[in-house]
Structure 1
Amino acid sequence: MPEHKVGTQEEFDAARAELLAEEKELTRRNDELARKRRELPWVPVEKDYRFETEDGTKSLADLFDGRSQLLVYHFMFGPPYDAGCTVCSSIADTLDPNVVHLKARDVTLICSSRAPLDKLLAYRARMGWSFDWVSSGGSDFHRDLGFQYTEDELRPFLEGEIPSTVRQMAELSGTDVRGYVTEGPGLSAYALSDGTVYRTYVTTARGLEPAMAYYGLLDRTPMGRHEEGEQMFWLRRHDEYGAKTAATPR
């Protein structure tokens, strides 16, 4: 534990009151940003995407499952993967128990990946999740949203110095670096109105942090995320903590 300033209860209360004012301001700012997200223009989805599901081939409109809103988490699980991305798996741990609550607000939440459906369902069983997971491997769904990359697009990255964390995540997914970074994570939102599907929001990278509940909790601990300078990423699938994995430092 690093050294830290020690003070009296009175000093803590004064500093906490100042911080609380800033936290409330951030809350108000987040509310404003949420309103602006809802005010983004809706874009009609004109391409006829098809997805492989447990109940056969479905269209994007079919995935709403009778509701008017749809959230799709673009889970990094490409065709060459042996297991889903470790980070995406941690996000899915947060998504899964929220599905029932979102349904109560007229929202269907699913995951979509490019790997074959049988791989996805086998991994879902291993992880103990129950959300609907579809394979978009036969369509340009992920590509059109910027969550799938070509070898030409990746060449500058692949010809440079590959971060050790990327090599680690690729190994933990059972693929090489090129196969791993071909996929990208993301969240997209849709509305179904009068038979037309509209895309209403898309985000990736740190925009996904609301679904990474552990970071919000770590941000409130004495040491925070404490990731600076780590050569190996600490995150594991929930059934791998305490077990040796191929990419665990020895």
Structure 2
Amino acid sequence: METSLHSIRFPGETDAYRIARDGLLQAELDLRKQTEKVAELRRTLPLGGTLKEDYLFEQVDPDHPSSDAGKKVSLSALFREGKGSLLIYSFMYGPEMQRPCTSCTSILDGLNGTMPHVLQRVNFAVVAKSPIQRIQALAQERGWNNLPLLSSAHNSFNADYHGETANGKQIPSLNVFVRREGQIYHTYSTELLFSPTNPGQDPRHVDAFWPLWSLFDLTPEGRGADWHPELRYD
């Protein structure tokens, strides 16, 4: 057998397995290099457009989780001292939707757990078009006690930054803003959602922060063509 990429072996593995695994390992090494190359390109993007307006949101008040009213907060106030980046995830839960998007809910279930770590480095918020009372009730139902949750029911943020179509359909998207010398700029959006895809392939535009699929990709079964997250599993 040709020289392997490393000397580690697992019980009972065959030469055929090791040859195939080394081929996959080389592909994984190439992917790691490409992933870092893409991340570097993302980091070196020039500044995008200045913030269209300093949007005023309603925020679920973590100090009063049962309150029917949120506190008012502007987008600029979401930037905390010493942290120059702000990520805002547009969550598919519009006022006409009976229940929230199951995929978005899966993403936020995971982000709720990791949010204390995230907020050590950057600013983060989740915004939905529904009235604050609906978002508040959902947060209590799901146990989202770490997520900064906002309602954009009274502003045009979702429409302006492509979390909503012209006819009011909600879109899952992540936008990144930065503050430089007192000015706020848009710098990144998950635009894979709007680009062409291969036949049978979904956009995968939010996979980078949705580890569910990465776990499935490690298995022989893969993602599965017909499986989708649910709000509950009986």
Under a length normalisation based on structure 1, what TM-score does the superposition of the two structures give? Answer: 0.75
Aligned to 1:46: 52
User: d(CA) in 1 for partners of 2:13 and 2:54?
Assistant: 64
Question: Aligned partner of 1:109: which letter?
Answer: F
2:7 — aligned with what? none
CA distance in 2 between counterparts of 1:123 and 1:115 reads: 11
Q: How does 1:101-116 map to 2 (within 5 A)?
A: 101-105=117-121, 107-116=122-131
Q: Secondary structure at the match of 1:206?
A: coil
Cα separation, 1, equivalents of 2:204 and 2:79: 26
State the secondary structure of the residue aligned to 2:163.
Answer: coil
1:93 maps onto 2:80 in alignment? no
2 CA distance for matches of 1:84 and 1:186? 15
Residue correspondence of structure 1 range 222-237 to structure 2 within 5 A: 222-227=220-225, 230=226, 233-237=227-231
Structure 1 residue 8, shift from structure 2 partner:
6.0
Q: Distance in 2 between matches of 1:142 and 1:20?
A: 41
Q: Tell me the secondary structure at the aligned position of residue 205 of structure 2.
A: helix
Contact between 2:54 and 2:76, CA under 8 Å: does it hold in 1? no
Write out per-residue CA displacement over residues 22-73 of structure 1, whole angstroms, 9 at most, x where no aligned residue: 1111100010000111111212213231111135222111112333211111
Aligned-partner residue type, residue 76 of structure 1: M
Q: 1:200 & 1:31 partners in 2: Cα distance? A: 18
1:125 and 1:236 mapped to 2: Cα distance? 17
| Two-structure CA RMSD over aligned residues (Å) | 1.8
Corresponding residue for 1:14?
Answer: 19
Aligned with 2:132 (options 117, 138, 159): 117
| Contact map agreement 1:99 1:108 (CA 8 A) in 2 | no
Q: Higher helix proportion, which one?
A: 1
Aligned positions of 1:15-34 closer than 5 A:
15-34=20-39
Q: Which runs of 4+ in 1 moved over 3 A?
A: none
Contact 1:83 1:123 in 2 (8 A): no
Deviation (angstroms), 1:100: 1.3
Over 3 Å counting, the alpha-carbon distance change for 1:144 and 1:17 in structure 2 is same
Structure of higher RCO (CA pairs closer than 8 Å, 6+ residues apart): 1
Does the CA-based 8 Å contact 2:103-2:228 persist in structure 1? no
* CA distance in 2: counterparts of 1:74 and 1:13, whole angstroms: 44
Letter in 1 for 2:211: A
Match of 1:219 among 212, 217, 220: 217
1:196 aligns with 2:183: yes
**Counterparts of 2:99 and 2:178, CA distance in 1:** 31
Count of matched residue positions in the alignment of Structure 1 and Structure 2: 200
Offset at residue 118 of structure 1 (A): 1.1
1:107-186 counterparts in 2 under 5 A?
107-130=122-145, 131-151=147-167, 182-186=169-173
Q: Which amino acid aligns with 1:236?
A: E
Amino acid corresponding to residue 28 of structure 1 in structure 2? K
Question: Gaps (5+ residues) in structure 2?
Answer: 1-11, 62-70, 194-202
Query: Does 2:59 align with 1:59?
Result: no
Letter in 1 for 2:139: R
Q: Tell me, what secondary structure is at the counterpart of 1:214?
A: helix
Counterpart for residue 5 of structure 2: none
How far apart are residue 91 of structure 1 and its match? 0.6
Distance 1:136 1:198 in 2: 19
Letter in 2 for 1:194: E
Contact 1:51–1:60 under 8 Å retained in 2: yes
Once the two structures are TM-superposed, the CA of residue 209 in structure 1 deviates from its matched residue by: 0.8
